[in-house]
Amino acid sequence: MKKISGSTFYFKKVLPGIWFGFLSFFFVSSLLSGAAEKTPMLIVVPTIMAVFGYFLFKMLMWDLVDEVYDLGNELLFRNNGREQRVNLRDIVNIGYSQMSSSPERIVVTVRNEGPLGKELAFNPPTRLFTFSKNPLVQELIERVDRARNTK
């Protein structure tokens, strides 16, 4: 059993905590200092940034599963105490976003919906140079193709 996912703690907990913590501090300090009465934008801008941040985190980070393990002929996805096993033959597609989002994302679309859903997104282990396609993606694609062709 080999872990093929990177850590999501920073992206799912630390970064949103910093983002919303800073906005809350700015919002509350504007209210307490009385500056918000003179300049209402001190309330409007942090509110807009909080809404924007919420949807950005929800779209890019909060859907990442916590851990993914390679079990040979299947992958084991774990998220918040729930598990989903996916046979390589049941994988429909493997999507990969490299430079368009942070963190890197691999999205595995499966044939049948399980406890974690039909699209399972995870981030691969951190690499130093992210300018090339992740070798894990190519390896998974080849293994899925081999699994489909053998009966």
Token output for 55:
């949807």
Reported as a pLDDT band with limits 50, 70 and 90, residue 101 is low
> Do 142 and 102 sit in the same domain of this protein?
yes
> Do 21 and 40 sit in the same domain of this protein?
yes
Total domains, the chain: 2
Non-local (6+) Cβ contacts of 37 within 8 A are none
> Do 99 and 25 sit in the same domain of this protein?
no
Query: What angle (nearest 5°) sits at the alpha carbon of residue 96, between those of residues 143 and 104?
Result: 120
Reported as a pLDDT band with limits 50, 70 and 90, residue 145 is very high
pTM equals: 0.82
Q: Report how far residue 105's alpha carbon sits from residue 64's, in angstroms, rounded to the nearest whole number.
A: 8
Q: Report how far residue 27's alpha carbon sits from residue 21's, in angstroms, rounded to the nearest whole number.
A: 10
Q: Cα-flanking dihedrals φ and ψ of residue 106, to 5°? A: -120, 125
**Which of 17, 32, 60 corresponds to the end of one domain?**
60
User: Who has greater pLDDT, 69 or 151?
Assistant: 69
**Residue 100: predicted pLDDT:** 59
Task: Determine contact, residues 116/67, Cβ cutoff 8 Å.
Answer: no
> Do 31 and 88 sit in the same domain of this protein?
no
**Residue 99: predicted pLDDT:** 63
CA distances from 87 to 13, 57, 65 (A): 30, 29, 17
pLDDT for 130 beyond 80: no
Write out the residue range of the structural domain in which residue 135 sits: 67-149
Q: Note the pLDDT tens digit of each residue in 14-48.
A: 999 999 999 999 999 988 888 878 888 888 999 99
Percent of the chain with pLDDT over 90: 67
For the residues 71-89, what does the mean pLDDT come to? 95
If you average pLDDT over every residue of the chain, what do you get? 90
pLDDT for 63 beyond 80: yes
> Do 77 and 35 sit in the same domain of this protein?
no
For the residues 80-87, what does the mean pLDDT come to? 95
Residue closest to 88 by CA, chosen among 134, 149, 2 = 149
**Which of 60, 83, 106 corresponds to the end of one domain?**
60
Q: Report how far residue 47's alpha carbon sits from residue 40's, in angstroms, rounded to the nearest whole number.
A: 11
Q: Which of 24-28, 31-35, 62-66, 136-140 has the lowest mean pLDDT?
A: 31-35
**Which of 60, 83, 109 corresponds to the end of one domain?**
60
For the residues 103-107, what does the mean pLDDT come to? 87
pLDDT for 55 beyond 70: yes
> Do 81 and 29 sit in the same domain of this protein?
no
> Do 111 and 56 sit in the same domain of this protein?
no
> Do 112 and 78 sit in the same domain of this protein?
yes
> Do 17 and 41 sit in the same domain of this protein?
yes
> Do 52 and 122 sit in the same domain of this protein?
no
> Do 107 and 130 sit in the same domain of this protein?
yes
